[in-house]
Amino acid sequence: MRDTKTVSIIGQSSIPYDLLEISVEGTIEYGQVVTVNTPSQQTKVKATDSVNVAQLTAEFSWRPDINMGGYNKTICFRLSARGDISRPAVASTSVCIRVVVPKCKYMAQPGDDLQRIGQIFKADWLTIWGLNAQLDNSTVDVGQEVNIGRSYKVVLGDTLLSIANLFSVTVASLRQLNFDVSQAKSAYTLEPDTFVCLFPNTCP
């Protein structure tokens, strides 16, 4: 979490005079940004140009918030082409990407150390240190992956409330670390063999 990722989407048409458009199918999450660039210089705009394709690029970028661990969704982009009125419209096409945010992971940002990460997650930094045996002290490098919880494998009949009671944590803390079940009611039965991230309560 908290590491910005960018994906480039490139659309082309073999007809150099087509006007291309890239759009998102459906809705996207808060903070997800799609930037459509102007046609690249490869696009042929005059009969004397040497390039024979029309091309358009777009970029999808996102810096997930700290409560997005467990996000797992497909985002689709549609390319449509519009030519002149002398020929029929060109059929559009789409491409999809899967966006997954790992649970129990945090990517260190500039100025971070374990104390600050503990403040971000409202958690004991010494416990976070205990979850990261690879760290010699509280210092972390920018971009370093830090464990901010443990994974619990859901068994038949588990609910957010039963897991919270089992580990002496709150349902709210489970929702913060598990986007995929953040809207589930506390008594809702979870899917067996899935994983829930939780922050150990060292002082139950």
Domain edges within the chain: 5-100, 103-148, 149-204
Mean of all residue pLDDT scores within the chain: 87
Average pLDDT for residues 20-40, to the nearest whole number?
Answer: 85
Say if 103-148 and 149-204 have the same CATH topology: yes
The pLDDT of residue 202 is above 90: no
Structurally, at CATH architecture level, domain 5-100 sits in Sandwich (2.60)
Q: Where are the beta strands (DSSP E) in 45-126?
A: 54-62, 72-82, 90-100, 105-107
| Cα-Cα end-to-end distance for the chain | 27
Average pLDDT for residues 142-168, to the nearest whole number?
Answer: 95
pLDDT-derived band of residue 41, with 50, 70 and 90 as boundaries? very low
By mean pLDDT, which of 19-23, 155-159, 172-176 is the weakest?
19-23
**C-alpha span between 77 and 60 (Å, rounded):** 10
The pLDDT of residue 2 is above 80: no
Phi, psi torsion values for 87, nearest 5 degrees: -135, 155
User: Does domain 149-204 sit in CATH 3.10.350.10?
Assistant: yes
Structurally, at CATH architecture level, domain 103-148 sits in Roll (3.10)
